[in-house]
Amino acid sequence: MKLGIVGLPNVGKSTLFNSLTKAGAESANYPFCTIDPNVGIVAVPDERLKLLGDMYHSKKVTPAVIEFVDIAGLVKGASKGEGLGNQFLSNIREVDAIVHVVRCFEDTNVIHVDGSVDPMRDVETINLELIFSDLEILERRYAKVAKAARMDKTLAKEEALLVRIKEHLESGKMAKSMVIEDEDELELMRSYNLLTYKPVIYAANVAEEDLADDGASNPHVKAVRQFAAGENSEVFVICAQIEQEIAELDDEEKAMFLEDLGISQSGLDKLIAASYRLLGLMSFLTAGEDETRAWTIKIGTKAPQAAGKIHSDFERGFIKAEVVNYKDPLEQGSLAAVREKGLVGMEGKDYVVKDGDVILFRFNV
């Protein structure tokens, strides 16, 4: 999974990236200190892996990972060359979802590029830049398609779709709010890789005192939540400054620190949960002496396609899947005990994999 982090300068974007990835992207109180996209790989915390790894005495425990791409702060007019111009936008065309950091805290020591804190104005600024960038992509595609559309029915259909998307964006709406009429249109829409078609998670960056009630008493957070609900986006509340402090602690200290703050989850935990929900993802597990590992798949994936995540041969030569719920070997003490109790399922090609399944695939190529 790959997530692109965007936001205006000085909203706490790079501070958040640093704390999530401990990658040390330069963060400073002035615009454009993040000029090249910084990339950080983060392990998805999963207690099940450690427990199974200990039980199997695995030589290696491999978690699922998320790749974060931190993009230079945007300003109004970026798509026309203001600030750093349009260069950052190409860096997030390949991401699965956009994490949009919005500033919901007041602090006279941290400059705001527009002079005041107004997250909805900030969201609109960023969205407009994404729209302008997408319109440029569509214009180029339209120029290619329009010439040949008169002689080709398929291209004529695409031309009509391009006109509809263009009109939709020009009215200030995001591509993801457009009604798609059939599977062909859906395939085309995905192929354009439009930024305004990507799912969005809003990270409402608040002051420390707003963390305990999850931003409920912060009017800025309330506005972001209302807006996000209207476009089926996710929102999570975070204090980037606190996350930076948490990043320096070990697991035990982190748990105590969070307890003192009156919160149960770190920002990274919240972000991972939000991104899995938004993208419809879950994890299945493989376990053994050599390696215990988590694999990320879409909810609703069937056994052969899940096997294909490990290796294409597994999918091609799929015979069956031996499936147990991760809790069973932990409760019974071993896989042998689970077998004795008849808790191992022998599943075929139509089996829909569940979150927390531990699977051994049988295949023959």
Cα distance between residue 196 and residue 132, in whole Å: 10
Q: What pLDDT shows up at residue 36?
A: 57
Band the pLDDT of 76: cuts 50, 70, 90: low
Residue labelled with tokens 């040949």: 148
What does the pLDDT average to over 207-218? 90
Q: Note if the pTM is more than 0.75.
A: yes
Tell me the torsion sign for CA atoms 163, 169, 171, 174: positive
What does the pLDDT average to over 188-194? 93
Cα distance between residue 92 and residue 69, in whole Å: 8
Band the pLDDT of 264: cuts 50, 70, 90: confident
What does the pLDDT average to over 132-144? 91
- Is 279:246 a contact under the CB 8 Å cutoff? no
Which token pair is 348?
């075929």
Q: Greater confidence, 217 or 18?
A: 217
Chain centroid to Cα 197, Å, comes to 14
Tell me the torsion sign for CA atoms 50, 214, 278, 350: positive
Pair type for strands 281-286 and 291-298: antiparallel
- Is 161:185 a contact under the CB 8 Å cutoff? yes
Band the pLDDT of 78: cuts 50, 70, 90: low
Q: What pLDDT shows up at residue 19?
A: 83
CA distances (Å), 221 to each of 74, 113, 121, 216, in order? 21, 19, 13, 7
Whether pLDDT at 135 is above 90: yes
Q: What pLDDT shows up at residue 291?
A: 95
Q: What pLDDT shows up at residue 267?
A: 84
Which token pair is 140?
């180029």
CA distances (Å), 2 to each of 36, 87, 139, in order? 17, 19, 27
Q: What pLDDT shows up at residue 37?
A: 58
44-59: per-residue pLDDT in tens? 888 899 999 999 999 9
Cα distance between residue 159 and residue 164, in whole Å: 9
Whether pLDDT at 364 is above 60: yes
Whether pLDDT at 1 is above 70: yes
Average pLDDT of the chain to the nearest whole number: 87
Specify the 3-state DSSP secondary structure of 100.
strand
89-120: per-residue pLDDT in tens? 677 788 899 999 999 988 877 766 667 889 99
- Is 208:108 a contact under the CB 8 Å cutoff? no
Give percent helix, percent strand, percent coil of the chain, each to the nearest 5: 45, 20, 35
What does the pLDDT average to over 273-298? 94
Band the pLDDT of 30: cuts 50, 70, 90: very low
Cα distance between residue 166 and residue 192, in whole Å: 12
How many other β-carbons are positioned within 10 Å of the β-carbon of residue 62?
Answer: 15
- Is 72:32 a contact under the CB 8 Å cutoff? yes
Which ranges of the chain would DSSP assign to H, the alpha helix? 13-21, 47-56, 119-149, 153-170, 183-192, 219-230, 240-246, 251-261, 267-279, 303-310, 312-316, 327-332, 335-340
Q: Percentage of the chain with pLDDT > 90?
A: 53
Q: What pLDDT shows up at residue 142?
A: 94
End-to-end Cα spacing for the chain: 29
User: How many helices and strands (H and E) does the chain possess?
Assistant: 13, 12
Cα distance between residue 96 and residue 326, in whole Å: 28
Whether pLDDT at 81 is above 60: no
What does the pLDDT average to over 218-226? 95
Cα distance between residue 108 and residue 12, in whole Å: 14
Q: What does the chain come to in residues?
A: 365
> At 6, phi and psi to the nearest 5?
-125, 165
